[in-house]
């Protein structure tokens, strides 16, 4: 990456955070000395980080704040969830003969964390790290239904255009609300050629020990292999796998 793309103040902030993460508390002068960053610059960065809850100040010393701890725990939780879910996705792919995947809510997208490919030569699922639209993906609709809820969709999706990707894509809030209520009642969601033509997906929620939905797992297949009459039997297997993962999480 070219050096002119680097934001100096942001780079300095990470240097300061790295030092604070290895120490119980440091003064402004100590931080400036350890980082070789001018005191005035250090002060402005510390003030900003403290205002955002990233660091805390006790007396004249600064230390890591709750917000960083929370972000770290969230990242660790996702890593643990990813590792835990892999064998279940593998079993699901073997059982159904299709690609399985897991996704979590990230900002206002469905972020795919893990994919287990089907034995078929054609790979149609998005890769890990891909963020897809919530309103037209099976995992996305699960996350909307069980985490946000249809009653909160107006505010959550305010300013977001529901992109029409195919002829089947739901593009109105009222239509999406109705779909989310149905999903919540039946316990699974279907992407019926809403994201890609000739591709059908089905997903179910994964919950933690507190009954909170933390992820969605699903399968992706071509409409030639995954026919409408197979939805009920497929849903049964995906819900079973989601329940087993949830049980491992203490649900």
pLDDT at 2: 54
pLDDT interval class at 1 (50, 70, 90)? very low
Sign of CA dihedral 160, 145, 108, 195: negative
SS (H, E, C) the chain: CCHHHCCHHHHHHHHHHHHHHCCCCEEHHHHHHHHCCCHHHHHHHHHHHHHCCCEEEECCEEEECHHHHHHHHHHHHHHHHHHHHHHHHHHHHHHHCCEEEEEEEECCEEEEEEEECCCCCCCCCCCCCCEECCCCCHHHHHHHHHHHCHHHHHHHCCCCCCCCCCCCCCCCHHHHHHHHHHHHHHCCEEEECCCCCCEEEEEEEEECCCCCEEEEEEEEEECCCCCHHHHHHHHHHHHHHHHHHHHHCCC
pLDDT at 30: 92
Opening angle at CA 78, ends 5 and 143, nearest 5: 100
pLDDT at 47: 92
Mean pLDDT is highest, among 1-5, 77-81, 83-87, for 83-87
What's the CATH architecture for 3-64? Orthogonal Bundle (1.10)
Task: Inform me whether the pLDDT recorded for 74 exceeds 90.
Answer: no
How high is the mean pLDDT of the chain? 89
pLDDT at 82: 82
pLDDT interval class at 84 (50, 70, 90)? confident
How far, in Å, CA of 245 to CA of 251, rounded? 9
Share of the chain above pLDDT 70, in %: 91
Q: Which of 2-11, 99-108, 165-174, 235-244 has the lowest mean pLDDT?
A: 2-11
Task: Inform me whether the pLDDT recorded for 116 exceeds 50.
Answer: yes
Which whole-number Å values give the CA distances from 44 to 6, 49, 66, 192, 197, in the listed order?
18, 9, 20, 52, 52
CATH 3.30.450.40 domain extents, the chain = 75-248
pLDDT interval class at 46 (50, 70, 90)? very high
pLDDT at 79: 62
Share of the chain above pLDDT 90, in %: 62
Annotation: CATH topology of 75-248: Beta-Lactamase (3.30.450)
Average pLDDT over residues 58-74: 76
pLDDT at 123: 61
Task: Inform me whether the pLDDT recorded for 185 exceeds 90.
Answer: yes
Length of the chain equals 251
pLDDT at 77: 58
Please say whether the beta carbons of 246 and 206 come within 8 A. yes
Phi, psi dihedral angles at 214 (to 5 degrees):
-115, -15
pLDDT interval class at 119 (50, 70, 90)? confident
CATH 1.10.10.10 domain extents, the chain = 3-64
Average pLDDT over residues 215-233: 96
Average pLDDT over residues 9-37: 87
Task: Inform me whether the pLDDT recorded for 24 exceeds 80.
Answer: no
pLDDT at 122: 60
Q: Which of 74-78, 135-139, 152-156, 228-232 has the lowest mean pLDDT?
A: 74-78
Average pLDDT over residues 22-35: 86
Which whole-number Å values give the CA distances from 82 to 109, 117, 118, 249, in the listed order?
18, 15, 18, 12
């Amino acid at each position: 990456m070219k050096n002119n793309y680097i934001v100096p103040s942001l780079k300095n902030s990470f240097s300061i955070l790295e030092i604070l993460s290895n120490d119980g508390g440091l003064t402004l002068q100590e931080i400036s000395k350890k980082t070789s960053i001018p005191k005035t610059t250090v002060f402005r960065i510390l003030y900003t980080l403290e205002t955002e809850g990233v660091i805390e100040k006790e007396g004249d010393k600064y230390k890591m704040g709750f917000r960083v701890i929370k972000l770290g725990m969230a990242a660790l939780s996702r890593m643990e969830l990813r590792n835990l879910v892999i064998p279940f996705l593998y079993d699901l792919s073997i059982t159904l003969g299709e690609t399985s995947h897991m996704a979590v809510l990230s900002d206002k997208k469905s972020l795919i964390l893990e994919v287990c490919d089907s034995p078929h030569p054609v790979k149609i699922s998005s890769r890990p790290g891909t963020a897809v639209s919530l309103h037209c993906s099976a995992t996305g609709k699960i996350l909307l239904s069980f985490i946000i809820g249809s009653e909160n969709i107006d505010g959550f999706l305010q300013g977001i255009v529901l992109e029409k990707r195919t002829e089947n894509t739901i593009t109105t809030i009222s239509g999406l609300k109705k779909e989310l209520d149905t999903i919540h009642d039946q316990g699974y969601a279907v992407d019926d050629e809403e994201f890609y033509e000739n591709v059908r997906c089905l997903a179910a929620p994964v919950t933690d020990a507190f009954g909170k939905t933390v992820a969605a797992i699903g399968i992706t297949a071509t409409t030639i292999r995954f026919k409408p009459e197979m939805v009920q039997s497929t849903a049964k297997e995906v819900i079973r796998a989601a329940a087993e993962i949830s049980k491992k999480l203490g649900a």
